[in-house]
Structure 1
Amino acid sequence: MTIDPSSIPNFGGKPQPQQASGPAGPVVPDQDLVKQLLDQMELKYVVDDEGDLAAPWEDFRTYFMFRGEGDQQVFSVRTFYDRPHSPEDRVKILDAIDDWNRRTLWPKIYTHLHEDEGGAATLRLIGEAQMLIGTGVSLEHFVSSTVSWVRASIEFDKWLVEQFGLEKPESDGSPSDEA
């Protein structure tokens, strides 16, 4: 199975002409399909020690994971935002991400209290979107959802910078070369 480049959603550019073809049957996406999509999106990626795909940006990492088996298999796009926040700011952070979660479909954002080896705690943010894929999904739906989730993860990072007056990232939105 291959991804037709014209099926990748165009966000803000000139509309791409659509090829006339009937709908494809359902597919069960796999890591090779995601790699193909990331290549077409010109995003750099690595495979981590656990076998998950990860696209690293300067201030966050987005993972593309497959979990479960059979008709219960789930595809998850999970973004780990690396900016540390003080645990004392949790109420302010929760108010902001509650606002984001109410106004947007994805990624849904939640907090994680991270303690380092020395016992110091920092608050980290994680965004996630999931799709049940075990019984198969339309290739077009899978592609458009995955692309939208990646774009929304980038937008959340920009939104967070604006909300809290954080230092503007020097990144242009493309994955970092730190992979």
Structure 2
Amino acid sequence: MSTRPRRRALDRGRADRDAPVQRTAPLSRSRVQTYLVSRGYAIGMDDDGDLTGTWDGDRFWFVLTGDEDEVLQVRGRWHRTLPSARRSATLLAVNDWNRERIWPKVYLREEDDRLALYTEVSVDLEHGVTDDQLAQLVACGLGTGVQFFAALAGLVPEEDSAGGGHPEQHRP
């Protein structure tokens, strides 16, 4: 019997013990902002006080909600809209995505007689969150949202959509 796997397991355990211990801290807008800025992302604040920015042309919001702002929601809005006549086909695509993947939740809304598509990752952080956990959650919300919008763009010909105006004017 080889001791090699055991040795690797022991080495991993030692590395885990040597890593600095992170403590949970309450979720706050400033912690989310600090993470986004540390990654070099250009962000702003909307009229509701939510952090917002644009990734690959799509608007994302970082919303703190709940009785004590303990729920983090990373919401994205596709920069294109679709004609209302495409509702059935769009719902099929949305349902396929939601059925086959955990994140992000995807939904559509009627806005100005057109269909707007949104993504959302929501996490209850009532008991706090470490910096590494917060980074992973924000990255998950952004990464999976961008992934969905890219997949959708590959399915929908450009002539079937419109820019949809300015996504920052729409509040998810």
Normalization by structure 1: what TM-score? 0.73
Deviating 4+ runs (over 4 angstroms): none
Partner residue of 1:68 out of 43, 52, 66:
66
Amino acid at match of 1:80: R
Preserved CA contact (<8 Å) 1:97 1:110: yes
Distance 1:139-1:91 versus aligned 2 partners, 3 A rule:
same
- Counterparts of 1:152 and 1:19 in 2: how far apart (Å)? 31
- Counterparts of 1:42 and 1:19 in 2: how far apart (Å)? 31
SS at match of 2:135: helix
Name structure 1 gaps, 5 residues minimum.
1-17, 116-120, 168-179
Normalization by structure 2: what TM-score? 0.76
Structure 1 position 58, deviation (Å)? 5.5
- Counterparts of 1:102 and 1:39 in 2: how far apart (Å)? 33
SS at match of 1:35: helix
| Aligned residue number for residue 35 of structure 1 | 33
**Residue deviations 1:43-73 (CA, integer Å, cap 9, x gap):** 1111111110001246321000111224x72
Count of equivalent residues: 145
Larger Rg: 2
Structure 1 position 139, deviation (Å)? 2.8
| Aligned residue number for residue 131 of structure 2 | 139
Identity of aligned residues (%): 24
Name structure 2 gaps, 5 residues minimum.
1-15, 160-172
| Aligned residue number for residue 170 of structure 1 | none
Structure with greater proportional helix content = 2
Preserved CA contact (<8 Å) 2:32 2:134: no
CA RMSD of aligned residues (A): 2.2
Moved more, 106-115 or 129-138: 129-138
